[in-house]
């Protein structure tokens, strides 16, 4: 591919999901700030921008908003680039920027509040140390979990059910194995993403073949399949009309 076409394809990809890439740009800037900061400044920034119990009590709106634009480990930025392109970009391009932003914001805010409330109850019942009120609670994973849930509605049936089962297992197994408040937040965010399904009503789904069609193709049958997965029946041969002799 020529450099001009490659640049055009990249530009079209970025423009098709502007919210995702603006979000990713902000994450890149804040990651550079954390990576270049001294150890004392890094600790101050991470705690000051955190949405822990202490910050939620003092600055509820500010901490909820700012905490979604920082990651604790800047070295994992490239991993988040991949996740943003696979999840956020696909959801925004398919559902629209407004619906994507609503889902991500809802998942981030609600999952943060619910998980921190559960942690507060654990602290008050002496199941967790009081120092957890100042724990670092930042990141973009709640929003990613919300996009994971919403993306399920782009997967056609019956492939949607294995997708949902895999997502539930990925976020649910750590929770059932005695996970942290963060695991609780991930599970809540996934459920909220799934609950936002009505926002995607009328949106097209991916054109994936049905399992019966794949099995028939693997068995070497006619590859011409209908959307229902049934083999297309060949048209009957035309017979020439007999001429009557006089």
CATH 1.20.1540.10 fits 3-200, yes or no: yes
Residue 127 main-chain phi, psi, to 5 deg? -90, -15
Q: CA 45 from chain center: how many Å?
A: 26
Q: How many angstroms separate the CA atoms of 196 and 187, rounded?
A: 15
Q: How many angstroms separate the CA atoms of 50 and 57, rounded?
A: 12
Digits of tens for pLDDT over the chain (246 positions)?
Answer: 677 788 888 888 888 999 999 999 999 999 999 999 998 999 999 999 999 999 999 999 999 999 999 998 989 999 999 999 999 999 999 999 999 999 999 999 999 999 999 999 999 998 899 999 999 999 999 999 999 999 999 998 888 999 999 999 999 999 888 888 999 999 999 999 999 999 998 888 876 566 565 556 556 654 444 444 444 455 555 555 444 443
Q: How many angstroms separate the CA atoms of 208 and 157, rounded?
A: 9
Is the peptide bond preceding residue 158 cis, with omega within 30 degrees of 0? Answer: yes
Q: How many angstroms separate the CA atoms of 18 and 23, rounded?
A: 8
Which parts of 37-171 are beta strand (E)?
none
Q: How many angstroms separate the CA atoms of 15 and 43, rounded?
A: 35
Which residue in this structure is represented by tokens 């079209």?
12
Domain ranges of the chain: 3-200
Please tell me the predicted confidence (pLDDT) of residue 243: 46
């Amino acid at each position: 591919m020529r450099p001009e076409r490659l640049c055009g394809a990249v530009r079209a990809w970025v423009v098709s999901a502007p919210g995702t890439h603006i979000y990713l740009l902000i994450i890149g800037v804040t990651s550079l700030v954390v990576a270049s900061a001294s150890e004392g400044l890094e600790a101050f920034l991470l705690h000051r921008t955190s949405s822990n119990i202490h910050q939620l009590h003092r600055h509820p709106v500010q901490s909820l908003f700012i905490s979604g634009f920082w990651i604790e480990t800047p070295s994992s930025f490239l991993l988040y680039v991949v996740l943003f392109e696979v999840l956020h970009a696909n959801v925004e391009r398919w559902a629209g920027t407004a619906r994507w932003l609503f889902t991500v914001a809802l998942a981030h805010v609600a999952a943060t509040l619910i998980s921190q409330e559960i942690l507060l109850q654990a602290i008050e019942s002496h199941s967790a140390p009081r120092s957890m009120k100042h724990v670092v609670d930042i990141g973009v994973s709640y929003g990613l979990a919300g996009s994971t849930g919403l993306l399920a509605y782009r997967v056609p049936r019956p492939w949607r059910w294995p997708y949902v089962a895999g997502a539930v297992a990925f976020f649910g197994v750590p929770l059932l194995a005695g996970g942290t408040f963060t695991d609780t937040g991930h599970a809540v965010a996934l459920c909220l993403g799934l609950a936002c399904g009505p926002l995607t009503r009328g949106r097209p789904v991916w054109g994936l073949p049905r399992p019966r069609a794949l099995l028939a193709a693997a068995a070497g049958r006619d590859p011409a399949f209908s959307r229902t997965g049934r083999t297309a029946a060949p048209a009957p041969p035309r017979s020439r009309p007999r001429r009557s002799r006089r």
